[in-house]
Structure 1
Amino acid sequence: MVTIDETDRRILRELQRDAGQSLDHLGDAVGLSRNACWRRIKALEAAGVITARVAMLDPDQLGLGLMVFMLIRTNAHAPDWLERFSAATRGMPEILGVYRMTGDLDYLIRARVADMADYDRLYQALIRRVPLSDVSASFVMEQIKDTHALPL
């Protein structure tokens, strides 16, 4: 774990809000010169604290208005099955997140698709790639909060 001071936290908060802002604007927001900000950002990147800078897109504007959580149960827990499952889900761009779970569920998948027919296509493609014992889905009716910003 890297030691982060309050100035780093202010920089990270600002970057989580808008990673595309200019160094001049960022410096004004956190009380540093643009060069001091740049050096701190480079150090945070080198330390692996900042892993990427990306643009957030509106899924509705791109025809991906349906978010689905797929609840996966499997009877297979061998390393080779997990490798196949991991490769299959990594290779499907509709799948945004895959999580190995505790409790009754084995895996939780978060995906974005256009509609129910598109979800069915995703489901069929997944079960063709890897055997699953049970798949159920929950569809998001309303998104109340969705953020990638970590609490700093």
Structure 2
Amino acid sequence: MTAFVQLRTRDHSSAWYERFVALVEGFEEVTEFYRMAGDYDYLLKLQVADMNAYDRVYKRLVNGIDGLSDVSARFAMERIKYTTALPL
């Protein structure tokens, strides 16, 4: 199951950022991790077995660091296109 998790934080300090990056890098379920412009500060792409596995990741994430003000997930129903090829 693929989950896209959007996060907002109340803390934008470099110390918080370094702690957050270290935390997220420790999650083997996270396959992509971005700092974003716009309404949300970060976007995570996760691969998990099922909803129970997502819930375990969610709990580890929100209990692993203070300062998150919103954690919102969307779940892929179908992957329609995927490629890493670039036109030359």
Give, in whole Å, the separation in 2 of the partners of 1:146 and 1:122. Answer: 24
Could you say which residue in structure 2 is the equivalent of 1:150? 86
What amino acid is aligned across from residue 141 of structure 1 in structure 2?
A: M
- Provide TM-score, normalisation by structure 1: 0.55
Per-residue CA deviation, residues 94-120 of structure 1 (Å, 9 max, x unaligned), is 001111111111001000000000000
Moved over 4 A (4+): none
Could you say which residue in structure 1 is the equivalent of 2:59? 124
Please state how far the C-alpha of 1:83 moved relative to its aligned partner: 0.4
CA RMSD of aligned residues (A): 0.9
Could you say which residue in structure 2 is the equivalent of 1:77? 12
Q: Report the 3-state secondary structure (helix = DSSP H, G, I; strand = E; otherwise coil) of the residue aligned with 2:32.
A: strand
Per-residue CA deviation, residues 100-143 of structure 1 (Å, 9 max, x unaligned), is 11111100100000000000000011112112110010000010
Q: Which has the larger radius of gyration?
A: 1
Could you say which residue in structure 1 is the equivalent of 2:73? 137
What amino acid is aligned across from residue 27 of structure 2 in structure 1?
A: M
Name which structure has the greater RCO, CA cutoff 8 Å, separation 6+.
2
Any residues of structure 2 matched to 1:1-152 within 5 Å, and which?
Answer: 66-131=1-66, 132-152=68-88
* Count of aligned pairs: 87
Q: Report the 3-state secondary structure (helix = DSSP H, G, I; strand = E; otherwise coil) of the residue aligned with 1:135.
A: strand
**Any unmatched runs of 5+ in structure 1?**
1-65
- Report % sequence identity: 51
Give, in whole Å, the separation in 2 of the partners of 1:96 and 1:147. Answer: 15
Bigger proportion of residues as helix: 1
